[in-house]
Each structure stands twice: as structure tokens, then as C-alpha cells.
């Protein structure tokens, strides 16, 4: 059955204390909303992002990065139920399923969402909500079950009694529903609650009242629905995501020398027998091959491809570059917007000068196989160094260099005998 998603991203995020919309804050240089959209892209045929606060910025982000997503404005913002109702005109004759998520929960996994949908279908459910167990359920809506343990309704904390607040099963904020069965609920919700809003959670009680099949899927790993409401939450979510990624890499044969000081994005692939040394930070989307050595104190900034048997050493920064096998950049270098061939050696202090601050243009450096770069060299892009080129230490390269040539721009050395004694 076809599935479309509705992602709630209209909130102000007041506690973030930021001019940036909450869902556009980043973890490893990827937005919170980006994580959610990426986690549904293999599941859904179309995604609706509900926008409100800073709607223009969020819309620009979605339009620029996601072809199958569109934004829908919620104004005024009258609650989560009202937010979902904004898509009703777009789904007038739709007969499939709708997956509802929050734009500030970047830790949810694609495989979890698939298991959630599978559970919904196996139960022949009309509406399924995801729940989880929290020892401290403060700030979450509580899942209230009937005497036979079936799902009865969800109560928001501000509307809950003391007995209901003691319930540890909470609403994870993710729903899957058969749209043609549940769509009428959105015209029948009321705002008779402490917030004076139209709650999405009320569709559970509505479904029960209308004799629909309503169920709850209990998520075992509650970390996956950790929501971002503050800078502290953002930091905690980053830690959770990082620990999860490092564990996955180590299970797959990657050595992480010091997990406490190593940070690697979810969108980075690393081959077996690669060693990641301490204080290394890898953000964005990258692919690192087998038997590489990365760090210590290396920084990969995204869109980096490193083939097998390479070394990216201490205080080396790489971004938007491809590096072929058996190439080494040992220390204190910057490689940006570059293509490096195989069996290259980059001397200490080498800079690919890729950015023109006047024209704002970033240009490309290309080095073919077997190039050797001496220490303290600047390569001013655009520049191509053909196969086998050697560059002497201390050079500034501003032109293309032909194969197997030696390139030097070093000024002649002058030695003034006894100059120091005479100066004193």
C-alpha cells in the first residue's frame, strides 16, 4: 500500500533561544529535519512538511534538498491535530496510509519505521501509535490502556491526573494510519483541553469511539524518539547518535582507539581494518575505505571519498574531495575541492587554496597518480598536476604542471656571514 508522510515542523522551539528554526539546527552538519526526511525516503512516495515558525527558511531548505517533499503552511498554529489537518486538501481522494512524525526527532531509524508499519499491517490496524517506556516520563503524553490492555486513549501531561502521570508508557509521537478511515477525525477534533489546542493524540479516542482497530507499537529503544527542545537536548542527541555509530563501526571491524574523543556522522561509511585515532571529527556524508588510518585530530567535513590503504594524519582537514588508494596526507594540511590519485604523498603544511574571496568561487585541484608534494606548499586552484609530478618544498603552484616534471618556486637562499654578530 502506498505511504505518504506528514512531518510536524511548525513549532517555535522557544527553548533553543535561537534565530534558527528548531528543525534546522544541526547534528554533524545535517539538520534535524534532514535526518527525519532521509529516514522516510525509502518508505514514502511523498512527504508533507508542516511549517509555521520561520516558514520561509524551512521551505527553502526542503525545496533545495528534497524532490519528493513539499511544505504546507500552518497559520495560525492551533496544535498538532490542526497541523495534520492542513494536508487534507492534498489528500482528498487518497486511499493509502499516512505516516506522521515529528521534525525534531533525528534518532528514529528507518528499520524501526519499517517494523512499525509492518506491525500496523499485521494487526489489520486502522491506526497505530508508537509508544515507549520511560522511567521518567515527564513532559510526554501518557498511553492509557483499558482493563483488557488494549489502547484506550492518550492524555497529554498538562491534562493528566496524578494517577495518569504515574504511567510510564508514553506517546512517541509517531503514527501510521489508514487515511480514508481516519481522515474524518480531523474535522471533528475539539480544543477542550488545558492548551486550548487541537491535539493529534485525540484521534486515538476518536478511533475507539468509531469502532476502528487502534493499536500501540512499543518501541524497545526509547533513545530513538528523543526529542530536541533545547541546546542540552541537542548535545545529548549528538552523543547518542555518535555512540550508536561508533558501536556499529566497531562491530563491523573498524578500530576506534578512543570512542570518548571520536565523533563520526551517521552518514559516514568506513571499511574494515581502518583505524580511527583519537580526537577525530567526521561530519557530513563520507566514504572511507579499508585499511586506512585517520587521525589523530583529523577533520573530515563532508562529501569525502577515501579509497583503501590511505592515511589522513594529525591536523589534516579534508572536504569535498576524492582520494584514491595508497595516498598519504600525514600532517598539518588542508585538502579541499580536490581529486587526488593513487600513491600520492602530501608533505606537511600543504594547502589547496580553493577559494577566491573576491569572486566567491571555489576551484578544483587535481593531482594524478604518483604525485609528490613537498612540505609547506600552496597549490592555487584551479590547477592540475599530471602523473608523477614532484613539487619542491615551499613552492606556490599557480599553473598546471606536466607529467613527471619538477615544479619549484623557491627563492634563492642567501647566507650573510656573521650578520647576527655585526647587527649586535
Catalytic residue numbers read 331
Are the C-beta atoms of 218 and 169 separated by less than 8 Å? yes
Three-state secondary-structure class, residue 84: helix
Q: Distance between CA 207 and CA 197 in Å, rounded?
A: 19
Are the C-beta atoms of 396 and 378 separated by less than 8 Å? yes
Nearest CA among 300, 253, 260 for reference residue 274: 253
Are the C-beta atoms of 348 and 320 separated by less than 8 Å? no
Locus of grid cell 562491530 = 251
N- to C-terminal Cα distance for the chain?
Answer: 88
Three-state secondary-structure class, residue 186: helix
Q: Who's near 45: CB < 8 A, 6+ residues apart? A: 2, 3, 4, 68
Three-state secondary-structure class, residue 32: helix
Q: Distance between CA 140 and CA 134 in Å, rounded?
A: 9
Three-state secondary-structure class, residue 190: coil
Cα distances (angstroms) measured from residue 388 to each of 313, 333, 338, 402: 22, 20, 17, 9
Residue 342 burial class via C-beta count within 10 angstroms: exposed 0-12, middle 13-18, buried 19 and up: middle
Q: Distance between CA 109 and CA 117 in Å, rounded?
A: 13
Task: Take residue 49 and report the three cell numbers written for it.
Answer: 512538511
Q: Distance between CA 267 and CA 245 in Å, rounded?
A: 9
Q: Distance between CA 177 and CA 288 in Å, rounded?
A: 40
Locus of grid cell 508514553 = 170
Angle at 266 (CA atoms; ends 260, 267), nearest 5 degrees: 135
How many residues in total does the chain contain? Answer: 424
Task: Take residue 38 and report the three cell numbers written for it.
Answer: 532521509
Three-state secondary-structure class, residue 348: coil
Amino acid at each position: 500500500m502506498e505511504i505518504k508522510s506528514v512531518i510536524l515542523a511548525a513549532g517555535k522551539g522557544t527553548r533553543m533561544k535561537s534565530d534558527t528554526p528548531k528543525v534546522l539546527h544541526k547534528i554533524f552538519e545535517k539538520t534535524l529535519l534532514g535526518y527525519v526526511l532521509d529516514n522516510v525516503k525509502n518508505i514514502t512516495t511523498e512527504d508533507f512538511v508542516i511549517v509555521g515558525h520561520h516558514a520561509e527558511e524551512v521551505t527553502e531548505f526542503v525545496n533545495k534538498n528534497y524532490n519528493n517533499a513539499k511544505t504546507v503552511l500552518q497559520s495560525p498554529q492551533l496544535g498538532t491535530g490542526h497541523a495534520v489537518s492542513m494536508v487534507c486538501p492534498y489528500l482528498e481522494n487518497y486511499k493509502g496510509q499516512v505516516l506522521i512524525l515529528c521534525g525534531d526527532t533525528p534518532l528514529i531509524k528507518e528499520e524501526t519505521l519499517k517494523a512499525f508499519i509492518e506491525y500496523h499491517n499485521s494487526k489489520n490496524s486502522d491506526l497505530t501509535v508508537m509508544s515507549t517506556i520511560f522511567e521518567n516520563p515527564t513532559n510526554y503524553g501518557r498511553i492509557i490502556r483499558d482493563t483488557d490492555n488494549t489502547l484506550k486513549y492518550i492524555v497529554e501531561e498538562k491534562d493528566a491526573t496524578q494517577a495518569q502521570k504515574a504511567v510510564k508508557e508514553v506517546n512517541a509521537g509517531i503514527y501510521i494510519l489508514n487515511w480514508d478511515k481516519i481522515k474524518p477525525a480531523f474535522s471533528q477534533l475539539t480544543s477542550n483541553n488545558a492548551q486550548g489546542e487541537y491535539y493529534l493524540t485525540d484521534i486515538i479516542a476518536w478511533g475507539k469511539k468509531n469502532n476502528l482497530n487502534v493499536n500501540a507499537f512499543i518501541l524497545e529503544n526509547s533513545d530513538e524518539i528523543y526529542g530536541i527542545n533545547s541546546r542540552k537536548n541537542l548535545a545529548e542527541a549528538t552523543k547518542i547518535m555518535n555512540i550508536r555509530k561508533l558501536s556499529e563501526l566497531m562491530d563491523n571491524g573498524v578500530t576506534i582507539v578512543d570512542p570518548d574523543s571520536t565523533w563520526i556522522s551517521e552518514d559516514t561509511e568506513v571499511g574494515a581494518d581502518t583505524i580511527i585515532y583519537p580526537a577525530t571529527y567526521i561530519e557530513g556524508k563520507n566514504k572511507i575505505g579499508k585499511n586506512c588510518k585517520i587521525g589523530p585530530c583529523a577533520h573530515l567535513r563532508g562529501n569525502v571519498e577515501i579509497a583503501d590503504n590511505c592515511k589522513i594524519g594529525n591536523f589534516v582537514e579534508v572536504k569535498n574531495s576524492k582520494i584514491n588508494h595508497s595516498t598519504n596526507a600525514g600532517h598539518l594540511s588542508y585538502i579541499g575541492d580536490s581529486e587526488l590519485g593513487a600513491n600520492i604523498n602530501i608533505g606537511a603544511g600543504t594547502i589547496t587554496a580553493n577559494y577566491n574571496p573576491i569572486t566567491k568561487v571555489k576551484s578544483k585541484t587535481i593531482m594524478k597518480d604518483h604525485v609528490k608534494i613537498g612540505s609547506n606548499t600552496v597549490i592555487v586552484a584551479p590547477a592540475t598536476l599530471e602523473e608523477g609530478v614532484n613539487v619542491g618544498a615551499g613552492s606556490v603552484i599557480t599553473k598546471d604542471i606536466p607529467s613527471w616534471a619538477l615544479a619549484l618556486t623557491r627563492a634563492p637562499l642567501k647566507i650573510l656571514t656573521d650578520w647576527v654578530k655585526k647587527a649586535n
